[in-house]
Amino acid sequence: MDIKQPDLAAGNIYAMEKTLFDLLVWLWISVAVVIFIVLLFITAPFGRHSKNTWGVTIPDRMGWFLMEIPGPVIYLSLVIAGIGPKTLTVWIITGLYLLHYTNRAIVYPLRIRTRGKQMPLVVAIMAVLFNFVNAGFLGYFAGSLQTHYTDAWLTDPRFLTGLLIFIAGMAINMTSDNRLIHLRKKSGDGYQIPRGGLFERISCPNLYGEIVEWGGYALLCWSLPALSFFLWTFSNLVPRALSHHRWYRSHFSDYPTGRKAVLPYIL
């Protein structure tokens, strides 16, 4: 009896912590819904949509690094410091996240053509908040709260299907980014109509690929914070893609009329 009492107490503490954690994640999801609606009417002022009315600006490369690097640092730190078991599954799930954000924080900024381009500091700060909270939820869950990331999870159909979707989304995202980078190198500082691949179907296959990628991640993780991250990605990128699509159509009279913005044949 004395042995079971601590186990029961620990179980109650875990249940209370998990309940509070889930409540916070659901509140964060509700914020994503609000942000989605706001972004349908207000275009984030960076890239081709940059404006001087948003205050202090910083170089694009610095901005990308500052925006994206908190994610992998926070996620990895919480997994390492977490009290949960550090299974192979935990490290694979963590590694997939780190793979994306290493590319986004370090490799991508070094490759883009950003001569003289600036972004508002406030945009970078908002992105830091986004990554801080999302990585915090994901890392804390993986490092301390999860109970199903055993070795057996690696053969679960949800993990295997989600992994394939994640890889496909990352491939779409990176190959589309690569086309845009080479297009900018050919056109100098100007813009051209992107051609080839999924660009023949949608204006923003790079953003579509990222949405697919994190949809796969939500499936392979099978957790509320991963679902929250997918919904936040969708809420940020769909309005951005719609803004890009409108920009292309307003700047190029010969822009293909059959192209959708971000979801092939749909939107």
Is pLDDT at 187 greater than 60 in this prediction?
no
pTM above 0.85, yes or no: yes
Do 140 and 173 contact (CB within 8 A), yes or no? no
Which band of pLDDT confidence, cut at 50, 70 and 90, is reported for residue 158? very high
* Model pLDDT, residue 45: 64
* pLDDT at residue 3, rounded to an integer: 42
Using one digit for the tens of pLDDT, what is the confidence trace for 237-266? 999 999 988 988 888 888 888 899 999 889
pLDDT of 7-40, one tens digit each? Answer: 666 667 788 889 999 999 999 999 999 999 999 8
Distance CA 234, CA 219 (A): 15
In this structure, which amino acid lies at residue 164? L
Cα gap 110→103, rounded to integer Å: 10
Phi/psi for 120 (5° steps) reads -65, 135
The closest of 267, 223, 241 to 29, measured between CA atoms, is 223
pLDDT at 49 over 70: no
For residues 163 and 195, give the distance between their C-alpha atoms in angstroms, rounded to a whole number: 28
Output the average pLDDT for the chain. 87
- Which is more confident, 107 or 5? 107
pLDDT of residue 50: 58
Label residue 119 by pLDDT band (50, 70, 90). Answer: confident
pLDDT for residue 208:
95
Which one is predicted more confidently, 46 or 197?
197
- Could you tell me the residue ranges of all domains in the chain? 4-251
List, for residues 208-246, the tens digit of each pLDDT value: 999 999 999 999 999 999 999 999 999 999 999 999 889
Confidence at residue 168, expressed as pLDDT on a 0 to 100 scale: 97
pLDDT for res 2: 45
Give bridge partners of residue 59 from the DSSP assignment: 118
